[in-house]
Homo-oligomer: A and B are copies of this chain.
C-alpha cells in the first residue's frame, strides 16, 4: 500500500503513456494526437504538458519503452544460443511473437520510420535494433553483416505488420524468412510449440 503512495507522482504520467499506446494501436502514429491521448486518459489537456515538454518527447518516450520491451524479449530468447543462424531465428520468432501481443508496436516501431518526425534518439534506437544480428551474420561468414542484419530487420518488420493485420501468426511467411537465412530444411522444427 505504501508503494501506491510512493508511486503516486508517476501515476498520471504512466496513465498517459498507457493511453498513448492504446491510441497508437488503434489510430496509428498519425492519429496519436495530444487531444486523443488526454481524452482516453481522462485528464485535462494541460496535464499532458505537466509530464511531457511536447508531443515529440511523448512519442519518444513511448518509442523507448516499446523498444526496450521488445529488446528484452529478443535478448532473452537469444541468450542461450551461440551467434549464428539459430540465434537469428530464435530472435526473430521472439520479436514476432511479442509484436503480436502489443499492437501499438506497429505504430511505434514500424510507422515511426516514415514519419518526418523521426527524433535523433529514435533513429539511434532503430539503428541499434537493426544491428542486433550482426554478430550472428559475422559468425556465419557473411561479408556484409551489417547490411544483412538491416535487411533481416526489414523482413521481420514486414512479417510483423502482416501478422498484426491478420491477427495471428503466418507460418508461411516465417518459413520463407527461415529459408532466406539459409536453413533450407522444409520441416518446421518449431511446429511442436503452441
Query: Which residues of A does B touch, CB under 8 Å?
Result: 27-31, 110-111, 113-116, 142-144, 146-148, 150-151, 153-155, 157-159, 161-162, 170, 172-173, 175-177, 179-180, 186
- Of chain B, the residue at the smallest CB distance from A184 is B182
From B115, B116, B175, contact of A144 by CB (8 A)? B175
Query: A172-B144, A172-B146, A172-B147 known; A28 and B114 CB under 8 Å?
Result: yes
CB atoms of B144 and A151 under 8 A apart: no
Question: How far is it, in angstroms, between the C-alpha of A116 and the C-alpha of B23 when the chains are bound?
Answer: 13
Q: Output the nearest chain B residue to A107 by Cβ-Cβ distance.
A: B114
- Report the Cα distance A177→B148, complex, angstroms: 7
* Nearest chain B residue, comparing its CB with the CB of A114: B111
How many copies, total? 2
Instruction: Take A150-B162, A154-B157, A155-B154 as given contacts and tell me if A116 and B176 are in contact as well, using a CB distance cutoff of 8 Å.
Output: no
Chain A interface, DSSP helix/strand/loop, else mixed: helix
Q: How far is the CB of A114 from chain B (nearest CB, A)?
A: 4
- Residue pair A154, B147 in contact (C-beta under 8 Å): no
A154 to B173, CA, bound (A): 12
Report yes or no: A179 in contact with B30, Cβ–Cβ below 8 A.
no
Besides A144-B175, A147-B170, A154-B157, 15 other A-B contacts (C-beta < 8 A): A27-B116, A29-B114, A30-B115, A113-B161, A142-B179, A143-B175, A146-B172, A147-B176, A148-B176, A148-B179, A150-B162, A153-B158, A154-B154, A154-B155, A155-B155
